[in-house]
């Protein structure tokens, strides 16, 4: 991913969902900070603090998937894709909740009557 690719994403996302305002949470990837980026009017970029996986639960899910890759070797990129796909297929709601369910997130969802 680079700034040019990210710019295309922002433009397409903005155009597809033009009727709404969107807040997109981002890590601190260099391409997110490019001076050449033109942020559409209906998008607000929210940068998470460095080294704070608790504000981005997907990071814990990727850690779980990568944990199963530690001793694997793949001859082709397609073999790697198949392996990851099989790992993803094994996930269910309980597993994802146990990996990403930080107490403060669960408390906030409970308080908001999320179901």
Token code pair at residue 21: 């305002």
pLDDT of residue 105: 65
Residue 4 has a CB neighbour count (10 Å cut-off) of 12
Distance CA 26, CA 97 (A): 22
Nearest partner of 37 among 12, 7, 11, 1, judged by Cα? 7
Is the overall model pTM greater than 0.85, yes or no?
no
pLDDT digits (tens, 9 = 90+) for 22-62: 998 888 777 777 788 899 999 999 888 877 777 777 778 88
Nearest partner of 30 among 51, 8, 6, judged by Cα? 6
Distance CA 19, CA 42 (A): 8
């Amino acid at each position: 991913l680079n700034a040019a690719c990210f710019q295309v994403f922002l433009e397409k996302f903005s155009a597809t969902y033009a009727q709404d305002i969107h807040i997109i949470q981002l890590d601190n990837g260099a391409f997110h900070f490019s001076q050449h980026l033109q942020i559409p009017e209906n998008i607000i970029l929210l940068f998470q603090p460095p080294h704070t996986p608790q504000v981005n639960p997907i990071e814990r899910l990727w850690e779980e998937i990568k944990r199963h890759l530690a001793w694997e070797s793949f001859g082709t990129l397609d073999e790697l894709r198949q392996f990851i796909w099989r790992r993803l297929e094994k996930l269910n709601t309980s597993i994802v909740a146990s990996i990403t369910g930080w107490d403060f997130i669960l408390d906030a969802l409970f308080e908001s009557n999320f179901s």
